[in-house]
Structures are given as structure tokens and as C-alpha cells.
Amino acid sequence: MRILVTGGAGFIGSNFIHYLFRKHPDYKIINLDSLTYCGNLENLKSIEDNSNYEFIKGDICDSELVDQIVKKVDAIVHFAAESHVDRSILDAIPFIRTNVLGTTNLLNVAQKYKKRFHYISTDEVFGSLGSQGYFNEESSYDPHSPYSASKAAGDHLVRAYFHTHRLPVTITNCSNNYGPYQFPEKLIPLFVTNLLEEKKVPLYGEGLNIRDWLYVEDHCSAIDLVLHQGKIGETYCVGGDEEKTNLEITHKILEILGLGEERIDHVPDRKGHDQRYAIDASKIKRELGWEPKHKFKEALLKTIKWYQENREWWQRIKNKEYLNYYQKQYQNKK
């Protein structure tokens, strides 16, 4: 099988490519990535000489390039996206360009060649939950940030191409991922790397926002299963069954690293901060037999160990100006 992975140099995309080569070593994979701030080819260094792997630097909005690639593959797994809520609040335009226009360009070319199309989405498209209930495949869309609005637009476009053109599509909406190679502006890698640098961790408000946490390898196994066995035209919600407040996450990281609460720096909450996300993943469990294999405690230990053992990887990233600006945003909010 020949697969185009868009955004394959990013966090989840690179983990998915590694997963595919472990599970399907004979597959041929093309990785299309524009290498913006969170794309990093070091994530794939161990497989860069694999004869079944090809990297192409390019933009998913480039119709001619996408056409040349898509006609050579059997399926597209679309990760490429601007993905950080805070950045979307500061400037929504890149999110609309990549997540809406880029997705539309891919769909147009996929339709031209009748290619299998799988879209990676997020639980954030459903908005915010109260203290009870869960998101599922029937949940209403209610995005609260420019990021989640752009991803919701992608969901609707993918479904529209299925209903209008009968394009063979599937969608997965996942909860918060964590694990190796995650860009250190997200909560877990930011907090872990800050503490390893003897800095404080900037916790929004009282840290009571709740998220369901999904280890990235479990997410990759779900995508692989949906790609091969999912029902065309269907959406599958993927969650880790691990609801935690941001404060709980912070305390667990501090505990593992043997540090105290004095390392927490409570900063003003961000705009439109959703209170709770939680996923009901019973459909993918029931229909496809998927289950998350990693419990949060063991997977968090594994994740922290990875960042401890790969300091050069994240220090090179954090030393660059594009992350320094992000740290300044926290300082400006104090």
C-alpha cells in the first residue's frame, strides 16, 4: 500500500509514520510537510534511509505539487494543520489557510483520482462540556477558538465530499495527545522541559480545566485501524479514558521529577478556555475492537523519560526565537 501522510514531520504525524513501519514494513510512505515551526525531520531520522520512505518539502495548498503526489498513492492520511489554540488567538489567518484551504485542496485532488482519504480532527470542534457527559460521534459542533473553528470546517468539508462526490473518507476526532516528539509549547512537554531547565511552569488560572489524555501510540493504532477497517463515510471518536485537570497533570509531573509546588506559576487564563473535554470512544471499541493500551501514569513516566533522554532535540527547539515569543506571552499576561 502507498500512503501519503501530510504533516508527517509533526508530533502525531511522525509517530504515525514510525507506527506504520513497525506494523506494515512493506508499505511505501510519502511524507509531505512544509516544515513550519513545529515540523522537525529529526523526528524521523531513524527511518530517513528506508527505501520505502520519501520526504517531500511542500505546502498542502500547492495544487500542482499535491496532484503530482496524490496520483501515485492509494490513500491520504491528513495530519497537516496549524494546531495551537493560543497561536490561533493571536493570528487566525494561518489556521484558515492551512486547515480550511489546504484541506480543500487535498480533497479536490483526492476526488480527481478517487483516493481513500482519512482526516485527523480533534474533540475541540465540539466546544466545552460541563461536569457531566461525553463527546461522541453525534455531538453538536460548537467550536470556541479560531483553531477549533478551522478544524470543524475541515470536518464538514470532508463529509461534504463524501455526500456530494462519494469520496471514500473517514474522520477521527481525538482527545489530547502526549508522548515523544511533541513540540514543547503544549502543556506536558512545556512543563517537563521547563522543569528540566529549572524554570517554573505557567499554569493557566487555577488549573481546573479538564482534558481526556491519549498516549500518541494508542492514537496511531486507532488511525491505522480506521484506515483499514473503518466504515466509509463514518466518524470515530478516539479517547484515552484518562480525564485529568491541568493541575493534576502538573502535580504528577512535579512528583515524578521530585519537585514541589513552588515551581508552579499561576498565570491569567487564556481567552475562551474550554472547561472540559471528554470522549466516549465506545463506537470504535465496539465496531473495530480498538482499546487504548497505555495507562496515563505509565505513559507519562515514559514520556518524561523520553524528554530527559533527548535534551538536545527539545533544547534546539526551545532556543529558537519562535518559541521564545511564546514564553513571552506568558510573561505579558502576569
Catalytic positions = 123-124, 147
- Contact partners, residue 154, CB within 8 Å, separation at least 6: 81, 99, 100, 103, 119, 121
Neighbour count for residue 71 (Cβ, 10 Å):
11
In this structure, the number of other CB atoms found within 10 A of the CB of residue 59 comes to 17
User: Given CA atoms 313, 316, 319, 324 in this order, what sign does their dihedral have?
Assistant: negative
92-to-130, 239, 324 alpha-carbon distances in Å = 27, 27, 20
φ/ψ (deg, to 5) at 212: -95, 130
What are the grid coordinates assigned to 23, written together?
A: 506494523
| Buried b or exposed e, range 154-167, using 16+ CB within 10 angstroms | bbebbbebbeeeeb
Q: Do 81 and 122 meet the contact criterion of CB atoms below 8 Å apart?
A: no
Q: Which of 111, 203, 209, 218 has its CA nearest to residue 157?
A: 111
